[in-house]
Amino acid sequence: MLNQIILVGRLTRDITVNKAENGVKVATIPIAVPRSFKNVEGVYDTDFIDCVAFDIIAENTSEYCSKGDIVGIKGRIQTKVIELEDGKKENKLEIICEKITFLSSKPKEEE
């Protein structure tokens, strides 16, 4: 069996790295991935996908990439159970990043 996904898209915002309760560094990496076909109105739809990266992958992406940069993500799909405000539980799909390739990035300006 195989659980693998490859995405290429643009970052929709700058990345911030947070520390989880267990000390692991975590970043949510939101990307926009345009579809390769037009919808009935003749427009290309775009999917907005949140990917999760840990430790060194999260740090490097935060340091070297910013909003608008193109990245390639290789990872896996994982489900997570979240509890809603009304007490109901819902499954949420996440993309767990195993490798991120920086396909286009601008050099960060010196401060």
Reduced to 3 states (helix: H, G, I; strand: E, B; else coil), residue 38 is strand
Residue 75 clears pLDDT 90, i.e. is over it? yes
Q: Are 74 and 99 in contact (CB under 8 A)?
A: yes
Split into its structural domains, the chain has a count of 1
Please write the tens of the pLDDT for every residue from 12-71.
999 999 998 899 999 999 999 999 899 999 999 999 999 999 999 999 999 999 999 999
The pLDDT of residue 111 is 53
Angular region, 94: left φ>0, alpha ψ -120 to 50, beta rest = beta
Reduced to 3 states (helix: H, G, I; strand: E, B; else coil), residue 21 is coil
For residue 42, give its domain range.
5-104
* Average pLDDT of the residues in 102-110: 69
Query: Degrees (nearest 5) of the Cα angle 111, 105, 59?
Result: 70
Question: CA-CA distance, 81 to 95, in Å (whole number)?
Answer: 14
We report the CATH number of the domain holding residue 64 as 2.40.50.140
pTM: 0.81
In a domain, residue 110? The reply is no
